[in-house]
Amino acid sequence: MQSSDTIVALSTPPGRSGIGVIRLSGDDSLDYVRSLLRDEQFAPDPHRVTLRTLRDTDRDETLDQALLTYFKAPHSFTGEDIVELSCHGSPVILLRVIDALLHLGARVANPGEFTLRALSNGRMNLTQAEAVRDLIDAQTHAAARQAARQLGGELSSRIQPVKDALIKIIVPLESAIEFVEDDLPDVAIAKIGLQLQGLTRNLEALANTFRAGRLLKEGLKVALIGRPNAGKSSLFNRLLSSERAIVTDIPGTTRDSLSEVLNIKGVPVLLTDTAGMRESEDPIEHLGIERTRRAVADADLIVVVVDGAQPLSADDEAILAEVFDAKHLIALNKSDLVNFGAARLNGASRHLDSLPVSAKTGAGLEELQHAILRPFDAGNEHDEDFLITSARHFDLLRRATGALHSSGGVLHHKASEDLILVGLYDALRFLDEITGETTPEDVLSEIFATFCIGK
C-alpha cells in the first residue's frame, strides 16, 4: 500500500471553469513546484496561500499565475506533503501544467489514490474513506448528511464498543483454555450468553437500517407507463416542475424513453417517461414500446397512468394485466375534468392502489409522491437516524451477527471454549473488515476503483 511516488491529478471536474485545482502528493511535491517557479529557495508557510507565476521548465514562457497552497506532512489529507495549485480553469492551461509536472517526474494518480494514501497513513479508516466517495456522489441533502456523518467517524464509533465487548468476552475464554482444567461455571456461561445477545441485537439493529440507507444513496427507478394520451408526459413534467417532455394532443408523440432525477423527501428518484403502449404497425413507435418494456423491467416501481375521464380501453386492461405481478400503483389522471370517474377499475384492478391526480393543476401530486415512497419504507422517521448505506457494510454486519448467533448456540450447548471462540473471532474479523483493519487488498482495490481520479 505504501508508495514513494509523487502523484498528480486534476481535482476539479474536467471542462472550463473559473478555477481548476491541481493536486500533488508525495515527498517531491514541493521540489517539483519549485522547478515550475524557477525558485529553488521557495519555502512557503504551510496552510497559507501564495500567488506565484508558473513557468514552463523547457521553454522560457509563463504557464499561468496560480494560487499555491502547501500542506506539510503529516498534517495533510494524505499524511504526505501536498501542494495544491489553483490555476485559471482553462483545460489547455491545466493540461500544460500537469504535463510539466509529469515531465519533472510526477505520476498520474490512480482513481482514489489520494484517499487511499490517507488510509494507508492512518489519516482515516476505511469507512471514512468510503464516505468521501459517497459525499461526492450524493444526489440529495439527506444522502450528503449521511455521508458526512460517516466521514466524521460515526459508523466506526458505533462498531468500536461491540469490538471492545467481544475482546472482553474472548479474554476469559482464552484463559479458560490455557489455565483452567474445569469447564466454565454456569454463571459465567449465562453472563456470556446475555452479552452475546445484546451485541447481536445492536448489530442487527444497525444492519436493519440498510434498506432505508440504500434508498437514500442509490434512489429509486420509477417508470411512468400507459396508453398514448393518458397524460404520462404531462405528469412527468409536472413532477419535475419543468417542461422536459414534449406534450401534444397527438397520440404517440413520445417515441422514446426520457429520464430525469427527482428528489422526493431526500430520496433520489430516477423518473422515466415512456412511449405509450398499444398495438402499432409503425416501426418507430414499435421500437419505442420495446424500450418502454425494458424500462418497466428495470424499474423498482411502475406508475400506470390511466385517463380517468374516459372508460378503460382494451389497451389499459392489457397494460394493467402486464404489470399486475410487479410493484406498481395506478395514477388516475385528469381529475380536473368534469367527466372524471369514467374509468372504472374492475376485477383485480379494484384492489390495486389508485390515486386521482391532475397533471394540469397539480392536484394529488403530493399524495402520489408519498405513494411512490411508501412501499420502500422511506419515511421521515429515518431523517435523524444513522443509516447503513453500503452493501459491503451490510453484508459484513450480517456475517458478524451470524457468527455471534453461531457462538451463542455453541455456548448454549456447553461446548468447549475453543468452539465458542471460532464464531467470536469470525465476528471480530468481519467488523475489522468494515473499518479496514483486516480488509484484503483486492477488496480495497475494488473499492477505490470507484473513486474519481483527483480524490
Domain boundaries, the chain: 7-123, 131-209+388-436, 217-381
Q: Given this model, what pLDDT does residue 45 score?
A: 94
Residue ranges in the chain whose pLDDT is less than 70: 1-3, 178-184, 244-256, 277-289, 342-353, 377-384
Residue 55 amino acid letter: R
Distance CA 58, CA 103 (A): 10
CATH topology of domain 131-209+388-436: Four Helix Bundle (Hemerythrin (Met), subunit A) (1.20.120)
- Count Cα neighbours of 95 within 13 Å in the Cβ-side half-sphere: 6
Does residue 116 sit in helix, strand or coil? helix
Q: Which residue type, as a one-letter code, is found at position 127?
A: T
How far apart are alpha carbons 24 and 105 in whole angstroms? 12
Angle at 13 between CA 12 and CA 16, to 5 degrees: 100
The confidence score (pLDDT) of residue 327 equals: 87
Distances (CA, A) of 355 to 236, 329, 339: 16, 8, 16
Task: Name the DSSP class of 127.
Answer: H
Sheet holding 267-273, edge to edge: 258-264, 267-273, 220-225, 301-307, 328-333, 354-356
Predicted local confidence at residue 249, as pLDDT: 52
CATH dotted code for 7-123: 3.30.1360.120
Q: What distances in angstroms separate CA 212 from CA 149, 260, 268, one per listed residue?
A: 16, 22, 12
Nearest alpha-carbon partner for 267 in 392, 125, 144: 144
pLDDT digits (tens, 9 = 90+) for 318-354: 888 888 888 889 999 988 887 777 566 655 444 456 8
Instruction: Say if CB 54 and CB 72 are below 8 A apart.
Output: no
CA angle, 76 then 80 then 85, to 5°: 70
Looking at this protein, which amino acid is placed at residue 419?
L
Q: Is the dihedral of CA 186, 192, 197, 198 positive or negative?
A: positive
Structure confidence by residue, pLDDT tens digits, 229-260: 888 888 988 888 877 655 555 455 455 678 88
Helix (H) or strand (E) holding 264: strand 258-264
Sheet with 7-10: strands ordered across: 49-55, 62-71, 82-89, 17-25, 7-10, 107-108
Copy the grid coordinates of residue 209. Answer: 437500517
Residue whose C-alpha is closest to residue 383's, from 135, 146, 220: 146
Chain centroid to CA 30? 35
**What kind of fold does domain 217-381 have according to CATH?**
Rossmann fold (3.40.50)
Q: Which residue has the cell 434508498?
A: 215
**Cα→Cα distances 16→19, 20, 21, 89, Å:** 8, 8, 12, 6
How far from chain centre, in Å, is Cα 106? Answer: 32
Cis before 74 (ω within 30): yes
Instruction: Provide the pLDDT for residue 326.
Output: 85
> What does the pLDDT read at residue 7?
96
Sign of CA dihedral 44, 49, 55, 56: positive
CA distance linking residue 407 with residue 411, whole number of Å = 6
Which neighbouring-strand residues pair with 332?
306, 356
